[in-house]
Amino acid sequence: MITIRAAKDRGTADFGWLNSSHSFSFGNYQDPDQMGFASLRVINEDKVAPSGGFPTHGHQDMEIVTYVLEGELEHKDSIGNGSVIRPGDVQRMSAGTGIRHSEYNASSDVPVHFLQIWVLPEANSIEPGYEQQHFESAQMQNQLCLVGSRDGRDGSITIHQDVNLYAAKLSVGEELEYALQGDRALWLQVARGSLTLNGQLLVAGDGAAVREESVLQLVGQADDAELLLFDMAAM
């Protein structure tokens, strides 16, 4: 079964310096029918104006993954980490017992466009942590690249939950297949471009919840597509 979460149906927030679209309930956007999927709790598509950003604020008991599409995002946190996240970088921050951080557009000239993703951890009160890995475009081109996993295998970031996170860039006409293994729940997020999922057209910002399918067939369409695929324990 495939359930499409259309980009046009997402919640939105516009603060001038921030334009954000929420796949699931977040902030002032609350929909009891859109509270997440399996262990995936938040997918926000954020566009931050030059020099704008989120001042220091706190999180607890959440795995927060940042995936930059365009521009540069500067991160600082209360456990001593400071970095700039660029396209190709995947960052994980484990909030655990509590962490404070800030995120700012590192440029005074161009916006930064990124996905902010929250995953419920498999246990509360873990030690706060931070990790960032870079993946070359060639690793994702027309293939699924593992960028996040429970055990950090193959150079992926470690996510404290039973989830395998893949990224891919799909050229027009290229096809990928992904077989579902056992009792799993999958979420596909189209970051840009367009593709078909088992024959259904998805465009940038669309998401799809997948259960009880044996195989996913992804085919690049009119625009080159970039996607994230979450393979999670069913909950």
Please state, in angstroms and rounded to a whole number, the distance separating the CA atoms of residues 84 and 163. 25
| pLDDT value at residue 181 | 85
Please state, in angstroms and rounded to a whole number, the distance separating the CA atoms of residues 38 and 9. 20
Q: Give the pairing of strands 207-210 and 184-192.
A: antiparallel
| pLDDT value at residue 152 | 97
Q: How far is CA 66 from CA 86, 92, 197, 215, 222, in A?
A: 10, 7, 24, 27, 27
The strand pairing partners of 214, in sequence order, are none
What is the CATH T-level fold of the domain 2-233, as seen in this structure? Jelly Rolls (2.60.120)
Please state, in angstroms and rounded to a whole number, the distance separating the CA atoms of residues 100 and 57. 5
pLDDT one digit per residue (tens) for the chain, 235 residues: 999 999 999 999 999 999 999 999 999 999 999 999 999 999 999 999 999 999 899 999 999 999 999 999 999 999 999 999 999 999 999 999 999 999 999 999 999 999 999 999 999 999 999 999 999 999 999 999 999 999 999 999 999 999 999 999 999 999 999 998 888 999 999 999 999 999 999 999 999 999 989 999 999 998 889 999 999 999 8
Please state, in angstroms and rounded to a whole number, the distance separating the CA atoms of residues 91 and 202. 26
| pLDDT value at residue 182 | 81
**pTM score:** 0.96
Q: Which helix (H) or strand (E) holds 137?
A: helix 137-140
Contacts of 134 (CB under 8 A, 6+ apart): 88, 89, 90
